[in-house]
Structure 1
């Protein structure tokens, strides 16, 4: 399907999370593509909360989903916080009466029926089917039962579930926005399936149909793991005499090492959007990165603003193949976005992470007694802006440089240089800085380094590397003159004394 944004009218899509936990990167992928679809076609995005699985719902699960979607830069036009009276309410638990009305309609038409089979009976049925080498399926044992048989079951205290009756050898097919033509035969769908549980709550595959129908949803974009649900939902649409929306099944995200779907057991990959936020990935970078998990624009360009992605989005370029999560690509993308930040903005973002204190390193920064944390942070951002790929690395530098006199520096690195030359450099530097006042506002370390070079007769690598090791613990340090601005004069002298002593 290659569509121009001017050809589609009245597009309505929905993202419908369950409040069972944090926003997972796979859910964020679905939300993002629904968002791009809606915005590209000047349509409406709906946020609906599918909370019928009450046992799995967690406190603040919904708030967490909403907060992380907002952080990611995804907004919506309708939802619990933006109700449209025509379509509200937006929580499934508040829509129970709506579902039951359609359940009664199907029962009255004989297209659905009450099933009084107990869990023990169903388990026994499935075990017997497996023993025969058959795929487990409901055998229709309560279809067509008389009123008297139903009343007898009720008299035993049994509560029925409601099942939709599937016609034999019937094809449920659709033209998928992403996958093309897809079809399932009713004989291979596990038999008549439950549309209302014995507790009176609708099942997912029924509630979602009623919601999408009553909310005028035109296009359903969701993960590929839902593809087996789609024929069941089409069966409900057909039974109710309703035209289904367009369906599109987004490729899942895979682990490139295991070549399997990204799982919560993949410990080397962060799973939740809040984890990326806390580690100092930028929301703009995550948005850009996820947009490429299952879609690609024309051309080689890889860094796009949200507005550019909305304009370029084309469903016909959605991928049928698995989307592999490339951590190196994410880190590169985030580094590119960090490089473009205004220095004050970068400083603010780091300090916001410190204030939130969601990671060990943020808590360590909170514990520092720095007289000017903002100024110190801004200086480190200035030095390392082009070197880091996570803002948490800036926090690590803050801790390192503020505790530099207590950090363990490997002075054996100095052994690869001429000892007498190195001592001459360090002692000359010490002589020059001893003349500086402790709280001097202007300290021209570039000039001091030039003077040390003249005094010692040492230059180039043999001059800079010993200074880098002495002041940072590493042979390579960006902008050593800027790093020296982080220290008081007495700290600089103490570091030089430590290095001279080690030699």
Structure 2
């Protein structure tokens, strides 16, 4: 048929939101709405890689006035960890990168946003693929598949399915199913092709050969979908225009491209983000303590510091500037500046960034306590009370701490250290202790005693209204001249 008729026919089959994806092929102007998603599995704590994926999706959506969707891929019931979905949502709130719609965030018109609530749709689409001849029932037992893997391993070959059930006639397959035979649904991948092309916004054009695609399982024997089927269906039905995800999913891209084609759907635009590495360049493991976002939350790191640090894991702002707030990141972010190579997670660098952001929270006018400064004061209060149980409330009242914190903030990594590392700021020393007696016996009566006594006298004469760095420095200078 003529090219224009083919194009019109293809457009008619699509929902309006899908048409925006054709912008990547330059067929249609790229002015359609951007919709991205963060789709974690609730199988444990949120790690830095997951937060980085969520952040880049958030930044891309905000930068393009689009939508950021949170979808929970909870079909793997064997690895499901109760409460982990809620924990992921809590950390997104803590980090100030809240989705515009999705699970735990008010839902939306494209729900439900939990895959466990969409199983009927996945089964329907799997049956549709079988009817079209794009998928087939597989009756191979786990024992046969295990023997096949062992045999392939001995020969040094990839562990792929041998398509044993692919040629079973439809009526025979249906007869076995009606008899209750256990089975899965497999995708009928093309036996040969010229290459599957993925246009990746980070890595450019990638061509995958036939060896990268086998007859993957779409529907498991318990009728639950695999990641491949559920992800493709949800991305289409939720109108996702761009998929930003980790490099570990790059090998799945050709399977997904073929599935979109088999379902007559236009694929989204892909962007695969670089791996995270330890300082020794080994791959960062989710099981490592410093890979968990909660590790930094519990230690008192500021959300803006963690976000700043994570934003630079694989993204280069093309400037010497290193400290960014969230609004600045939105304005600067571009997928074109995301690198292909792995990004190193250096905890000492995270610590430095936290110190920088901690100082930024201290206002120039200490008479005005901002909400962000109040959070710092609260952290110091809690730490001081935990360190000195008998602490007087007057020693940690908000106004006192507001003036005290700037004097020591340069000497801590996190706010709580002000309350734990400087106990002398909150209580008088115990002069009856053995340590105090030993010190005083060797110190009392020396010139240092007179110098310090004179210094204390001078500082105590400064009025509270004049208690500021210039006045204190002036008094110290005067006392130093007297002692000299």
TM-score range, shorter chain: 0.7 to 0.9
Match of 2:147 in 1: 124
From 406, 426, 430, give the equivalent of 1:382.
406
In 2, Cα distance between the equivalents of 1:369 and 1:296? 47
The verdict on how the C-alpha distance between 1:400 and 1:250 changes in structure 2, with shifts beyond 3 A counting, is: farther
Paired residues of 1:354 and 1:366 also in contact (CA < 8 A): no
In 1, Cα distance between the equivalents of 2:426 and 2:129? 70
| 1:28 paired to 2:51 | yes
Per-residue deviation, 1:351: 4.7
Per-residue deviation, 1:232: 1.4
Match of 2:17 in 1: none
The verdict on how the C-alpha distance between 1:381 and 1:207 changes in structure 2, with shifts beyond 3 A counting, is: same
Match of 1:278 in 2: 298
From 350, 354, 371, give the equivalent of 2:376.
350
Per-residue deviation, 1:452: 5.8
Match of 2:201 in 1: 177
In 2, Cα distance between the equivalents of 1:366 and 1:96? 55
SS at 1:405's partner residue? coil
The verdict on how the C-alpha distance between 1:334 and 1:183 changes in structure 2, with shifts beyond 3 A counting, is: same
Per-residue deviation, 1:55: 2.5
| 1:261 paired to 2:283 | yes
| 1:16 paired to 2:42 | no
Paired residues of 1:347 and 1:374 also in contact (CA < 8 A): no
The verdict on how the C-alpha distance between 1:363 and 1:433 changes in structure 2, with shifts beyond 3 A counting, is: closer
Per-residue deviation, 1:328: 3.2
In 1, Cα distance between the equivalents of 2:31 and 2:385? 50
Match of 2:78 in 1: 55
Match of 1:223 in 2: 246
User: CA offsets per residue over residues 142-188 of structure 1, 9 Å max, x none?
Assistant: 11213575467558854211100111132221110000111222333
SS at 1:200's partner residue? coil
SS at 1:10's partner residue? coil
Per-residue deviation, 1:84: 2.5
User: CA offsets per residue over residues 225-280 of structure 1, 9 Å max, x none?
Assistant: 111111111121121121111000011211122x022113544xx22223222322
User: CA offsets per residue over residues 7-29 of structure 1, 9 Å max, x none?
Assistant: 54311111111222222111010
In 1, Cα distance between the equivalents of 2:360 and 2:179? 71
Per-residue deviation, 1:348: 2.2
**In the TM superposition, what are the counterparts of 1:39-54 in structure 2 within 5 Å?**
39-54=62-77
Please, what TM-score do these two structures have when normalized by structure 2? 0.80
| 1:134 paired to 2:157 | yes
**In the TM superposition, what are the counterparts of 1:404-483 in structure 2 within 5 Å?**
405=429, 423-430=446-453, 453=480, 456-457=483-484
From 375, 386, 391, give the equivalent of 1:364.
386
In 1, Cα distance between the equivalents of 2:311 and 2:225? 33
The verdict on how the C-alpha distance between 1:396 and 1:178 changes in structure 2, with shifts beyond 3 A counting, is: same
Number of aligned residues: 438
Match of 2:9 in 1: none
Match of 2:108 in 1: 84
| 1:192 paired to 2:218 | no
SS at 1:135's partner residue? coil
User: CA offsets per residue over residues 340-394 of structure 1, 9 Å max, x none?
Assistant: 2125346522354468x7xxx6882484523222345434412112333322322
The verdict on how the C-alpha distance between 1:263 and 1:451 changes in structure 2, with shifts beyond 3 A counting, is: same
Paired residues of 1:347 and 1:377 also in contact (CA < 8 A): no
SS at 1:120's partner residue? helix
Paired residues of 2:187 and 2:217 also in contact (CA < 8 A): yes
In 2, Cα distance between the equivalents of 1:363 and 1:150? 70
In 2, Cα distance between the equivalents of 1:99 and 1:157? 20
SS at 1:287's partner residue? helix
Match of 2:6 in 1: none
In 2, Cα distance between the equivalents of 1:314 and 1:427? 63
In 2, Cα distance between the equivalents of 1:52 and 1:362? 45
SS at 2:197's partner residue? strand
The verdict on how the C-alpha distance between 1:307 and 1:447 changes in structure 2, with shifts beyond 3 A counting, is: closer
Paired residues of 1:168 and 1:187 also in contact (CA < 8 A): no
In 1, Cα distance between the equivalents of 2:31 and 2:234? 22
In 2, Cα distance between the equivalents of 1:406 and 1:60? 46
In 2, Cα distance between the equivalents of 1:40 and 1:33? 10
In 2, Cα distance between the equivalents of 1:132 and 1:436? 83
In 2, Cα distance between the equivalents of 1:154 and 1:98? 20
In 1, Cα distance between the equivalents of 2:377 and 2:45? 23
In the alignment, structure 2 segments of 5+ residues that lack a partner are: 1-23
SS at 2:266's partner residue? coil
Per-residue deviation, 1:410: 9.8
SS at 2:129's partner residue? helix
In 1, Cα distance between the equivalents of 2:323 and 2:122? 44
Match of 2:354 in 1: 334
From 326, 338, 355, give the equivalent of 1:306.
326
User: CA offsets per residue over residues 456-481 of structure 1, 9 Å max, x none?
Assistant: 54xxxxxxxxxxxxxxxxxxxxxxxx
Per-residue deviation, 1:402: 3.8
The verdict on how the C-alpha distance between 1:422 and 1:210 changes in structure 2, with shifts beyond 3 A counting, is: farther
In 1, Cα distance between the equivalents of 2:379 and 2:76? 34
Paired residues of 2:459 and 2:472 also in contact (CA < 8 A): no
Paired residues of 2:47 and 2:286 also in contact (CA < 8 A): no
SS at 1:216's partner residue? coil
SS at 2:217's partner residue? strand
In the alignment, structure 1 segments of 5+ residues that lack a partner are: 458-503
In 2, Cα distance between the equivalents of 1:445 and 1:424? 22
SS at 2:78's partner residue? helix
